[in-house]
Amino acid sequence: MRAVGTFSAYLEHAYMDWLYVAGIGIFFIGLMASIALHELGHLVPAKRFGIRVPQYMVGFGPTAWSFRRGETEYGIKWIPLGGYIRMIGMLPPRPGDDPTKLRGSSTGPFQGLIDSARQAALEEVRPGDEDRVFYRKKWWQKVIVMAGGPLMNFVLAFVFFSILLVGIGLPASAPIVSPQTNTCVIPVTEKRADCRPGDQPTPAANAGLKPGDRLVSFGGQKIATWDDATRLIRSHGAGPVQIGIVRDGKPMTLQATLIAQDRPRLDDPKRTENVGFLGVMPTEVMQKQSMGQVVGYMGELTGRVAMSLVRLPEKMVGVWNAAFSGADRDPEGPVGVVGAGRMGGEILASDLSAEKKIAIFVNLLAGFNLAIGMFNLIPLLPLDGGHIAGGLWEGIKRGYAKVLRRPEPAHVDIAKVLPVTYALAIMMIIMAGLLLYADLFNPLRLTG
Find, among 290, 295, 323, the residue nearest to 158 by Cα: 295
CA-based torsion, 279, 284, 285, 290: positive or negative: positive
Least confident of 266-275, 350-359, 412-421, 424-433: 412-421
pLDDT category of residue 399 using cuts at 50, 70 and 90:
confident
Q: Residue 103 pLDDT > 50, yes or no?
A: no
pLDDT at 41: 94
- In single-letter form, the type of residue at position 99 comes to P
Find, among 91, 149, 148, 95, the residue nearest to 116 by Cα: 91
pLDDT at 398: 85
Most confident of 155-164, 228-237, 421-430: 155-164
Residue ranges and CATH numbers for the domains of the chain are 11-51+137-169+288-448 (no CATH), 173-287 (2.30.42.10)
pLDDT digits (tens, 9 = 90+) for 277-288: 888 889 888 888
Q: Residue 348 pLDDT > 90, yes or no?
A: no
Q: Which residues of 288-298 are buried (b: 16+ CB within 10 A; e: fewer)?
A: ebeeeebeebb
Q: Residue 152 pLDDT > 80, yes or no?
A: yes
Annotated active-site positions, please? Answer: 39
Residue 400 burial by CB count (10 A; 0-12/13-18/19+): exposed, middle or buried?
A: exposed
pLDDT at 133: 84
pLDDT at 38: 92
What percentage of the chain carries pLDDT values higher than 90?
16
pLDDT digits (tens, 9 = 90+) for 1-45: 444 445 444 444 444 577 777 777 888 888 888 889 999 999 999
pTM of the entire structure?
0.77
Most confident of 77-81, 279-283, 345-349: 279-283
Query: Mean pLDDT over residues 377-393, rounded?
Result: 86
pLDDT at 147: 94
pLDDT at 88: 81
pLDDT digits (tens, 9 = 90+) for 249-297: 899 898 988 988 888 887 887 788 888 888 888 988 888 888 888 998 8
Q: Residue 100 pLDDT > 80, yes or no?
A: no
CA–CA distance, 327 with 441 (Å, rounded to integer): 11
pLDDT category of residue 427 using cuts at 50, 70 and 90:
confident
pLDDT at 49: 93
Find, among 257, 351, 237, 371, the residue nearest to 304 by Cα: 371
pLDDT at 96: 59
Query: Mean pLDDT over residues 362-367, rounded?
Result: 88
Query: Mean pLDDT over residues 103-121, rounded?
Result: 48
Find, among 348, 185, 169, the residue nearest to 262 by Cα: 185
What percentage of the chain carries pLDDT values higher than 70?
88
pLDDT category of residue 108 using cuts at 50, 70 and 90:
very low
Least confident of 183-197, 234-248, 374-388: 183-197
Whether omega for the bond prior to residue 334 falls within 30 degrees of 0, making it cis, is: no
pLDDT category of residue 46 using cuts at 50, 70 and 90:
very high
Q: Residues 6 or more apart from 12 whose CB is under 8 A from it?
A: none
**What's the residue count for the chain?**
448
CA–CA distance, 108 with 70 (Å, rounded to integer): 40
| In contact, 276 and 263? CB cutoff 8 Å | no
Most confident of 148-152, 338-342, 401-405: 148-152
